[in-house]
Amino acid sequence: MKVLKLMFKNAFRHKLRTSLTIVGIAIAVIAFSLLRTVVTVYNAGVDASSADRLITRHAVSFIFPLPYSYKDKIQQIDGVELATPLNWFQGVYIDKDQFFARLAVDPETVFKVYPEFILSKEELDNFKKERNSCVIGIDIAKQYNLKIGDIMTIDGDIYPGRWDFVVRGIYKPKDKTIDGTQMFFQYDYLNERLEAESPMRANEIGWFAIKIKDPNRSAEISAKVDKLFKNSSAETKTETERAFQQGFLSAVSAIITALNYLSFIIIGIILLVLANTMIMAARERTREYAVMKTLGFSAKHLVGLIMGESLVISVLGGGLGLLLSFPVVDGFGQAIPKGMFPIFYIEPITIILAVTAALSIGVISSIFPLIKALSTKIVDGFRFVG
């Protein structure tokens, strides 16, 4: 008990030095949590993808459309439960900084293929009834203070003109890993106007999301879909939703990798800072350790004393950092445009990694001073002049 007290007293013998080290560790843990969170949200789409969903897009590129008529053909393939078309609309809501996904969808099937977007039956029925109705995610509703019945006016860019939508539903994500920032409206509303204003672009969609009955048959069904449209004017490429999301990430994979490395480099830097603090502390106490050894304290006591002191500092720094990480990450999430990172929260694995890092730093930082303290002979310790 007294040794524990001595450990705490030692840790705060140099209050300024210890406080600065604790703050340093806290800042490192905050930076680590923030970077890990950014890495996590980049991968969120991949992690949230469903094993029983396939994505069919144009074989050449995602930017080329597919005929809407493919839907019925895909639907007839053995193993396919349901296919739903989706089309990227984009447009400008309020101004160009207000970014979130706006998609033209089939109201009859989209929420069956994407059950993670939870919408009440009444809202879904209303969405189906009205041509210019839309459903928005709860995060978008909160951000723009939108309610059922409100009008959302979007200036089209890919599809020019003024587009008015009535909010008829607000979906809730199944859990916090699901994006709550999307807007869905009826494809027919878009298509009818295209038929009237630019018929060449009508009856085309961006991609199909296909719900399959057995995830183990995804490769087989993908091959069947693509075979079906082989040698047509719009050949397809079908892959699992996970592979599709990973394809998006490949463009920024270098950045994600760099962020990943950076988060661990930060931990490495703070390891050196704490190690330096501990080396200084242990060096100053060389005579005291000699006294303790003289009095009969053994190696295990010194290990407890030195490693304990290091752990006290690292745990306090890590705890403070973790505590502050939540408001900092939250504030960062609020500060960036909502659509950029639709899901922005600290994952449990980030907390586990931060705690593990703090504890590891505490242990590793004490190794050198421990070796020094244990290997110094008592007589040399008494001769030591710091």
Closer to other proteins by CB, 5 or 230: give it: 5
Binding flag, residue 299, other proteins (CB under 8 A): yes
- Distance between CA atoms of 21 and 7, rounded to whole angstroms? 16
Q: Is 379 in the site for other proteins (CB under 8 A)?
A: yes
Tell which residue, 241, 189, 232, 190, has the closest CA to residue 212. 241
| Residue 41 beta carbon to other proteins: minimum distance, rounded to whole angstroms | 46
CB of 312 to other proteins, least distance (A): 14
Min dist CB 310 to other proteins, Å, is 17
Q: What amino acid occupies position 15?
A: K
> Can residue 112 be called a binding residue for other proteins (CB under 8 A)?
no
Residue nearer to other proteins on the CB measure, 57 or 293: 293
For residue 386, list its beta bridge partners. none
Give min distance, CB of 370 to other proteins, in A. Answer: 16
359 binds other proteins (CB under 8 A): no
Q: Which residue has the tokens 């990450």?
A: 329
Q: Which is nearer to other proteins, 295 or 335 (CB)?
A: 295
Phi-psi region of 288 (alpha: psi -120 to 50; beta: other; left: phi over 0): alpha
Residues 7-46 as x/- pattern, contact with other proteins by CB under 8 A: --xx--x---------------------------------
Query: In the bound complex, what is the minimum distance in angstroms from residue 4's beta carbon to other proteins?
Result: 11
Instruction: Figure out which of the listed residues 295, 335, 348, 375 binds other proteins, where binding follows CB under 8 A.
Output: 295
Identity (one letter) of the amino acid at 275? A
User: Please, are residues 352 and 309 in contact by the beta-carbon 8 Å criterion?
Assistant: no
| Structure tokens, 243 | 């592979």
Tell me how far apart the alpha carbons of residues 175 and 250 are, in angstroms, rounded to a whole number: 26
Which tokens hold the place of 275?
Answer: 């190690």
What type of residue is 271? L
Shortest CB 369 distance to other proteins, Å: 17
Does residue 331 bind other proteins (CB under 8 A)? no
CA distance linking residue 380 with residue 282, whole number of Å: 14
Q: How far apart are CA 42 and CA 55, in angstroms?
A: 19
Among 68, 144, 297, 368, binds other proteins (CB under 8 A): 297
Among 168, 293, 342, 370, binds other proteins (CB under 8 A): 293
* 288 belongs to the binding site for other proteins (CB under 8 A): yes
For the chain, how big is the Rg over CA atoms in Å? 29
Q: Which is nearer to other proteins, 254 or 295 (CB)?
A: 295
Residue 213, interface with other proteins (CB under 8 A)?
A: no
Beta strand 161-173 with 133-137: parallel, antiparallel or unpaired? parallel
Phi, psi (degrees; rounded to nearest 5) at 239: -150, 170
For other proteins, which stretch binds (CB under 8 A), given 17-25, 185-193, 315-323, 374-382?
374-382
Q: Does 371 bind other proteins (CB under 8 A)?
A: no
**Considering beta carbons, is residue 183 or 373 the nearer one to other proteins?**
373
What pairs with residue 276 in β-bridges? none
Q: Which stretch binds other proteins (CB under 8 A): 2-10, 201-209, 241-249, 263-271?
A: 2-10
Stretch that binds other proteins, among 73-81, 104-112, 296-304, 336-344 (CB under 8 A): 296-304
Tokens describing residue 329: 């990450």
Q: Is 292 among the residues that bind other proteins (CB under 8 A)? A: yes
The answer to whether residue 3 forms part of the interface with other proteins (CB under 8 A) is yes
List 148, 259, 291, 367, residue binding other proteins (CB under 8 A): 291
Q: Which residue has the tokens 């590129």?
A: 61
Binding segment for other proteins (CB under 8 A), chosen from 110-118, 230-238, 341-349, 378-386, is: 378-386
Helix intervals (H) in the chain: 2-11, 15-42, 44-48, 70-75, 110-113, 121-129, 138-143, 187-197, 218-228, 241-250, 253-284, 286-295, 299-335, 348-375, 378-383
Which residue has tokens 């421990």? 370
Whose Cβ is closer to other proteins: residue 30's or residue 302's?
Answer: 302
Residue 6 binds other proteins (CB under 8 A):
yes
In the block, tokens 């013998």 appear at 13
Residues at the contact surface with other proteins, assessed by CB under 8 A: 2-3, 5-6, 9-10, 13, 287-288, 290-299, 377-379, 382
